């Protein structure tokens, strides 16, 4: 068995225009002071990482690693969540997702998609230069507006959507394969890959591509009322990344899974800082350890109540305390009789 690495932190929710969150040295010192040893790096929307430079320059990658090393940190993975979302966008969401792209591409869906694909391919190259073996992203969505089957979905509608999604992702997956890096889809509402069934539909269409892997985040499964421990049993061979994020689901007579269009604070299902929700992290860390998960445990802070500074500090300690240092021997080795193969055959009566 292997011991997972951590604690790491996803910087996307913390990057911003104010110090210390607006420069790489500043946010690195902040993360280290909170108790983290790794950072998952957003590649768009943060002004402290240049994806194009990282894809083409070993010198730049060395500089980034050096800044982090000075704070006692390493990069866990790169993230293209926002760019991955733009690989596939239903027209109903064009205006809202335009904000994920450069201003010059807004209102130009085809050009926006081409930019997103190029960003993913740059991320493959950058990950290789940085010595990373896994990458975080979203799948995007074409079928999401038709999640609930009313009105009745026309025959073949979902098949067509997933055929197209696979067609768009196959060249990207091949680029990551060339780079030796796994693409880890965060299974997430709003994406066409939002549960195990949809992931399997996609996986079949990309011919079980070896790089089509998973980012495991139990919080999204709590809100869907999906068995997130059984999910590990089903898909552990594809899980390459782990977001440590908590959630709770408290249905009432007024609302349930769909949340009644309420704000996050007032929904039956809502995200919480780790330790404040309902996720069985003891069970999760145990299962991942049992399946030899050797990747990072990365905090993703999203909470509708607690301050992010407190969530980060508590999250680092929570991950550190829950990582299982796996054993290198069986607990009953002290009672071993030390018999050999010949003795085993005698015990079984095979040499009579």
Give residue 94's Cα distance to chain centre: 24
What is the per-residue pLDDT for 264? 97
What is the per-residue pLDDT for 52? 97
In order, the DSSP letters of 62-105 are HHHHHHHHHTT-EEEEEEEHHHHHTTSB-GGGHHHHGGGS-GGG
Task: Of 164, 160, 185, 88, give the one whose Cα is nearest residue 97.
Answer: 88
What is the per-residue pLDDT for 344? 87
Q: How many CB atoms lie within 10 A of CB 344?
A: 10
Q: How many CB atoms lie within 10 A of CB 160?
A: 12
Burial 169-189 (b: 16+ CB within 10 A, else e): beebbebbbebebbbbbbbbe
Beta carbons within 8 Å of 322's beta carbon, 6+ residues apart: 281, 282, 285, 297
Complete domains list, the chain, with CATH? 5-347 (3.20.20.150)
What is the per-residue pLDDT for 335? 67
Is-contact 290 237, C-beta < 8 A? Answer: no
pLDDT tens string for the chain (352 positions)? 789 999 999 999 999 999 999 999 999 999 999 999 999 999 998 789 999 999 999 999 999 999 999 999 999 999 999 999 999 999 999 999 999 999 999 999 999 999 999 999 999 999 999 999 999 999 999 999 999 999 999 999 999 999 999 999 999 999 999 999 999 999 999 999 999 999 999 999 999 999 999 999 999 999 999 999 999 999 999 999 999 999 999 999 999 999 999 999 999 999 999 999 999 999 999 999 999 999 999 999 999 999 999 999 999 999 999 999 998 877 777 667 777 888 888 888 998 7
What is the per-residue pLDDT for 330? 75
What is the per-residue pLDDT for 149? 96
What is the per-residue pLDDT for 117? 98
Q: How many CB atoms lie within 10 A of CB 235?
A: 18
Beta carbons within 8 Å of 238's beta carbon, 6+ residues apart: 212, 213, 214
- What is the distance between the alpha carbons of residues 114 and 124, in angstroms, rounded to a whole number? 16
């Amino acid at each position: 068995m292997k011991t997972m690495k951590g604690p790491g932190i996803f910087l996307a929710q913390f990057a911003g225009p104010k110090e210390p969150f607006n420069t790489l040295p500043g946010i690195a010192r902040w993360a280290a002071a909170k108790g983290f040893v790794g950072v998952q790096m957003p590649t768009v929307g943060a002004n402290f990482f240049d994806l194009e430079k990282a894809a083409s320059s070993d010198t730049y990658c060395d500089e980034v690693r050096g800044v982090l090393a000075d704070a006692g940190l390493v990069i866990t993975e790169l993230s293209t969540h926002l760019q991955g979302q733009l690989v596939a966008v239903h027209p109903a969401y064009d205006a809202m997702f335009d904000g994920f792209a450069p201003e010059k591409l807004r209102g130009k869906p085809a050009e926006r998609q081409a930019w997103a694909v190029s960003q993913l391919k740059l991320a493959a190259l950058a990950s290789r230069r940085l010595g990373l073996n896994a990458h975080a992203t979203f799948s995007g969505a074409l079928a999401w507006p038709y999640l609930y089957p009313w009105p009745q979905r026309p025959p073949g509608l979902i098949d067509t959507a997933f055929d197209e999604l696979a067609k768009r992702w196959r060249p990207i997956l091949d680029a990551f394969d060339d780079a030796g890096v796994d693409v880890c889809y965060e299974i997430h509402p709003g994406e066409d890959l939002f549960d195990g069934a949809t992931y399997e539909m996609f996986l079949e269409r990309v011919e079980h591509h070896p790089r089509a892997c998973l980012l495991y985040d139990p919080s999204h499964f709590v809100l869907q009322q999906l068995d997130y421990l059984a999910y590990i049993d089903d898909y552990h061979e594809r899980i390459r990344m782990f977001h440590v994020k908590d959630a709770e689901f408290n249905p009432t007579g007024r609302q349930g899974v769909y949340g009644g269009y309420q704000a996050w604070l007032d929904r039956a299902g809502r995200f919480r800082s780790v330790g404040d929700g309902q996720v069985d992290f003891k069970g999760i860390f145990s299962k991942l350890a049992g399946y030899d998960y050797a990747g990072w445990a990365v905090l993703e802070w999203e909470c509708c109540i607690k301050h992010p500074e407190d969530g980060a500090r508590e999250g680092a300690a929570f991950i550190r305390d829950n990582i299982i240092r796996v054993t290198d021997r069986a607990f009953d080795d002290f009672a071993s009789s030390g018999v050999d193969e010949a003795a085993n055959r005698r015990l079984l009566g095979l040499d009579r």
